[in-house]
Amino acid sequence: MSEKSSAYWRSNLKYLAILLSIWALVSFGAGIVFSDQLDKIRLSGFKLGFWFAQQGSIFVFVILIFVYVILMNRLDNKYELNED
């Protein structure tokens, strides 16, 4: 395995660990496990736990993917791993 591609892979794994932790935190955390506690906080007409379960988590999912796209494009450029 070349030095370059193993460094690339390690950075990729680091990004995955961070982004997937956020993914689990908003959906399984805020939307399910801590949802009832969060419901005591209100965000205008929403209880916060309910909002995370039915809307907030979905917004975060979309943002996560686009953050990953940007991070990986940068990483590809850094290691000059561009196809065509």
Partner 1 sequence: MSIQNWTFLIVGITFLLYIIIAVRSRAKNTSDFYVAHGQVSPLANGLATAADWMSAASFIGMAGLISFLGKDGAVYLMGWTGGYVLLALLLAPYLRKFGKFTVPDFIGDRYYSQTARLIAVVCAIFISFTYVSGQMRGVGIVFSRFLNVSIEMGVLIGMGIVFFYAVLGGMKGITYTQVAQYCILIFAFLVPAIFISIMLTGNVIPQLGFGSKVADGTYLLDKLDKLSVELGFNQYTSGNKSMVDVFFITAALMVGTAGLPHVIVRFFTVPNVRDARKSAGYALLFIAILYTTAPAVAAFARINMIETISNQEYESAPSWFKNWEQTGLIKFDDKNKDGKMQYLNSDANEVTVDRDIIVLANPEIAQLPNWVVGLVAAGGLAAALSTAAGLLLVISTAVAHDLFKKTLRPDLSEKQELRAARIAAACAVLVAGYFGINPPDYVAQVVAFAFGLAAASFFPAILLGIFSKRVNKEGAISGMVVGLLFTSIYIVYFKFWYPESNTPDNWFFGISPEGIGTLGMLINFVVTLVVTRFTPEPEQRIKDLVESIRTP
Count of residues touching partner 1 (by CB under 8 A): 45
Residue 41 DSSP one-character state: S
Site string for partner 1, 53-82 (x = CB under 8 A): xxx-xxx-xx-xxx-xx--xx--x--x-xx
Does an H or E element contain 22, and which? helix 3-24
Two tokens at 31?
Answer: 């939307």
Tally of helices (H runs) and strands (E runs) in the chain: 4, 2
- C-alpha 64/C-alpha 23 separation (Å) is 8
Q: According to the binding rule CB under 8 A, does residue 40 interact with partner 1?
A: no
- Partners of 42 in the beta sheet? 47
Of positions 33, 37, 41, 78, contacts partner 1 by CB under 8 A:
33
Tell me which residues touch partner 1 (CB under 8 A): 1, 5, 8-9, 12, 16, 19-20, 23, 27-28, 31-33, 35-36, 39, 43-47, 50-51, 53-55, 57-59, 61-62, 64-66, 68-69, 72-73, 76, 79, 81-84
